[in-house]
Amino acid sequence: MELIFNLQEVEEAVEATEGGSFGLIDTGVYKNSTIVRAVLGKTKKGNNKLDVTVRTEDGHELTIYQAFVIDTKWASGADNKYGYGAWLRFAKVTGIKSLATFQDSIMKDDGTPAKKKDGTPLVLTCLKDCHGAKADVAIQKVFGYYNNEVTEKNEIYDVYAVGSEKSDKVALRLKDKEDKDFKAYKASGGSTEQASTEEEEELI
């Protein structure tokens, strides 16, 4: 059965539950983080993807949309070599052995169910095996340029076993990332001091 995933509904749920410890975080390796949920969905062109919610050890929670595309090929037919490899590493570290799912009811901070616009409870299709798993998660802040504004979002750079020596090495060299639009903006004399806006955009 085909799984349908409505990104807008998830964004509305995040807005409904946001507090002081949600949103973008700085580039770094966040040790002993918890995988709160990995939501199975589809890109606009039909690839299978995971949107991953991470809670850091100090309680900061964020959702990284399209954290992994889990198909071997893109909808265009091109190999998803890098992305598929990243997904396999995530699966190994978090203990995913199958794509078995469960229905996760999203709750607000006050303990009441988050709801869709039509008033029905918001329930997401999540991978069962990695629910609550612990990992050292390397996260990058990514700068972009869209609609005449600087944008920022987070991406998962990679995921490691808790206490991994490799995560320590990555922490020493991990830096912010700039997409091609941002690089072009800087090359043309743009300044990062302009007001930035957080914008989640599905590019695939």
Task: Name the domain count of the chain.
Answer: 1
Q: What is the pLDDT of residues 55-72, one digit of tens each?
A: 999 999 999 999 999 999
In a domain, 101, yes or no: yes
In angstroms, how far is CA 43 from the centroid of its own chain?
13
pLDDT tens digit sequence for 161-195: 999 999 999 999 999 999 999 999 999 887 654 43
Among 46, 92, 40, 102, which residue's Cα sits nearest to residue 67? 40
Residue 162 resides in a domain: no
Mean pLDDT along residues 38-44: 93
Assess if residue 190 is contained within a domain. no
Whether 89 is in a domain gets the answer yes
- Whether residue 178 lies inside any domain: the answer is no
List Cα–Cα distances, 48 to 130, 131, 143, 148, 199, in angstroms: 17, 18, 25, 31, 22
Q: What is the span of the domain harbouring residue 36?
A: 7-137
Local confidence band at 2 (pLDDT 50, 70, 90 cut-offs): very low
State pLDDT tens for residues 78-130.
999 999 999 999 999 999 999 999 999 988 888 888 888 888 999 999 999 99
Q: Does residue 44 form part of some domain?
A: yes
Indicate whether this model's pTM tops 0.75.
yes
14 belongs to a structural domain:
yes
For residue 39, which of 13, 65, 72 has the smallest C-alpha distance?
65
Is 94 inside any structural domain?
Answer: yes
Provide the pLDDT for residue 109: 80
